[in-house]
Each structure stands twice: as structure tokens, then as C-alpha cells.
């Protein structure tokens, strides 16, 4: 009786494992197999600003980020450079593969969060608020080191469950307007919402300089705007919900070149 129960338990457990494994291996369905960057939907004058590093206002943030990279902060007497040396080498490819699964924290972290993990755990410095100017400066500087490299996030293994969460958020109708992300960015890209030409909502250009805000914005600030536009209540920037969504968006943009810092209306 007892042995029977144990056996049944074992069988159930291994069955669950097999099912979980099979699910993990199932390649996710990609609604847009050949993604187009937001630059295809931007106006020529916006692109002219983006494509000239001397005109692109985001390079003010890049400059600030470069300075911050070498600045000692916190109780440990260290700067980013103390551990990572020359960012033009050590940070190459980082933006392209983030967000990424963090084995010790057992969750997915964004580039912003990784910077704050380094600050709090290694530098003894306070975390920078998400989407604040100093944090956007550092992430823009780091992202620039991957410019032109294809987005390539790893959703396999333990990361998969966070990816699935992000995918679910993406496809859930929300807000008083009862729309999902795909309503605008998959079913209706190329159409106009008033003066806005809807793009595929790809994230490869972030952080981006937004003309409307007159500043560099982080991806999650843009996501708050999209949720608010459908009269939804957005989760906080830096929350698990938005982090998983950002992870899913990165995978949607898989293969597109990193274009940060882009310029958008």
C-alpha cells in the first residue's frame, strides 16, 4: 500500500517532469517571424537625427554614462571600471543578450536591474531609480557598445517560465479600451492611430531619445505609456511583470540589430 503510493507518486512526479520538459522544449510560436525595426516606421526627419551621432541628443546621455562608468561611488570605493575595465570591450554584446536569467537570483533581470545589482552588491552604492537620468545615462552608454549586434536573448531552461509570463502579459486584453499589445503592434502595424504610425513595437532601439519627452527614456517608461493609452493601470517600472514583458519583447526582436540610442517621436 505504502510502496504503491510511493511508486504512484514517483510515476506522477516523473510524468510531470516529462511534461514540463516537453513544454520547455516546445519552440515558442513567433507571430512575427521576420520582425521590422521601429526605424522603418519612423519619419525621415526623426531618422536623420538618429543617424547622426553629433545631432542625436541621446549622446549627451552617452557622455554622462561614460563619465559615470569611471566614477567611484559607494562604500567599497569602486567604479564600474574597477571590475569591468574598458566598457568598449567588456560591454560589447551585453545589451544584445539582456534581459537574461540570473542564476543566483533565479529570475530574469534587465540591464537596468543588473547595473543596480552591481551598485548595491559590489560598490556599496544605492540603487538608481528606474528610468532616472543617471541610470538611463549608464544603460545608454552600455547599449551603444552593442550597436549593430543582433538581439539574441536566451529563453531556454529556467528562463522559459519568465518568458511565458511575458508572453501572457503581451496577449492579455486590458484597460478600459480592452486591447492587448498585439492589437496595435501585430494586427495593425502600418496603420495610423491619429498621427502615430503604428510600428511592430520592437524594443531593439531602447533606450531611445523621445522627442515628445525631450529626454532619453527606458523601455519600461514606453510600456507604461502604452498601457495608459488603453486606460489600463500599468505595473511599476522595474516590477516583475514589466521585466518579464521586456524579456518577451527582446525575443520578439531577436535578430534585429541593436539600434540604441534610437530617436522616436
Which residues are marked as active site?
Answer: 226
Which does residue 29 bind out of another protein, ligand HEC, none, counting CB within 5 to 8 angstroms by kind?
none
Which does residue 201 bind out of ligand HEC, another protein, none, counting CB within 5 to 8 angstroms by kind?
ligand HEC
Q: Which three cell numbers stand for residue 141?
A: 552608454
Using the structure block, give the residue that is written with the C-alpha cell 524594443: 203
Interface residues with another protein (CB under 8 A) are 49, 54-57, 59-60, 62-63, 66, 172-179, 183-184, 187-188, 191-196, 198, 211-212, 214, 225, 227-233, 265
Residue 145 binds to ligand HEC (criterion: CB under 6 A) = no
Which does residue 253 bind out of ligand HEC, another protein, none, counting CB within 5 to 8 angstroms by kind?
none
Residues 237, 183 contacting (CB under 8 angstroms): no
N-terminal to C-terminal alpha carbon distance within the chain: 69
Candidates 20-28, 98-106, 113-121, 226-234 — which segment interacts with ligand HEC by CB under 6 A? 226-234
Residue 263 DSSP label? E
**Among residue numbers 17 through 46, which ones bind ligand HEC (CB under 6 A)?**
38, 41
Distances (CA, A) of 187 to 6, 173, 208, 234: 50, 13, 24, 22
Taken as a whole, the chain contains a residue count of 265
CA proximity to 259, closest of 107, 37, 9: 37
Find the residue with minimal CB distance to ligand HEC: 38
Residues 6+ apart with CB under 8 A from 13: none
Which does residue 38 bind out of ligand HEC, another protein, none, counting CB within 5 to 8 angstroms by kind?
ligand HEC
Helix, strand, or coil (residue 62): helix
Which residues contribute to the site for ligand HEC (CB under 6 A)?
Answer: 38, 41, 170, 177, 179, 181, 183-185, 193, 196, 198-199, 201-203, 205, 208, 222-223, 226-227, 229-230, 245, 249, 264
Amino acid at each position: 500500500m505504502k510502496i504503491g503510493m510511493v511508486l504512484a507518486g514517483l510515476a506522477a512526479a516523473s510524468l510531470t517532469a516529462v511534461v514540463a520538459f516537453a513544454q520547455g522544449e516546445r519552440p515558442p510560436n513567433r507571430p512575427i517571424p521576420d520582425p521590422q525595426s521601429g526605424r522603418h516606421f519612423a519619419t525621415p526627419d526623426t531618422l536623420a537625427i538618429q543617424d547622426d551621432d553629433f545631432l542625436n541628443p541621446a549622446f549627451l546621455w552617452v557622455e554622462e554614462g561614460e563619465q559615470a562608468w569611471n566614477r567611484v561611488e559607494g562604500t567599497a570605493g569602486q567604479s564600474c571600471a574597477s571590475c569591468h575595465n574598458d566598457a568598449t570591450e567588456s560591454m560589447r554584446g551585453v545589451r544584445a543578450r539582456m534581459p537574461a536569467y540570473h542564476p543566483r537570483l533565479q529570475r530574469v533581470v534587465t540591464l537596468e536591474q543588473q547595473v543596480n545589482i552591481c551598485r548595491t552588491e559590489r560598490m556599496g552604492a544605492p540603487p538608481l531609480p528606474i528610468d532616472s537620468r543617471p541610470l538611463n545615462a549608464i544603460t545608454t552608454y552600455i547599449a551603444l557598445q552593442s550597436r549593430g549586434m543582433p538581439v539574441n536573448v536566451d529563453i531556454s531552461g529556467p528562463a522559459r517560465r519568465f518568458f511565458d509570463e511575458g508572453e501572457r502579459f503581451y496577449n492579455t486584453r486590458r484597460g478600459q479600451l480592452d486591447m492587448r499589445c498585439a492589437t496595435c503592434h501585430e494586427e495593425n502595424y502600418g496603420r495610423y492611430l491619429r498621427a502615430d504610425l503604428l510600428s511592430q513595437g520592437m524594443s531593439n532601439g531602447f533606450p531611445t531619445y523621445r522627442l515628445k519627452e525631450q529626454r532619453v527614456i527606458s523601455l519600461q517608461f514606453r510600456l507604461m505609456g502604452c498601457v495608459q493609452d488603453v486606460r489600463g493601470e500599468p505595473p511599476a517600472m522595474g516590477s516583475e511583470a514589466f521585466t518579464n514583458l521586456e524579456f518577451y519583447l527582446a525575443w520578439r526582436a531577436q535578430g534585429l540589430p541593436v539600434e540604441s540610442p534610437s530617436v522616436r517621436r
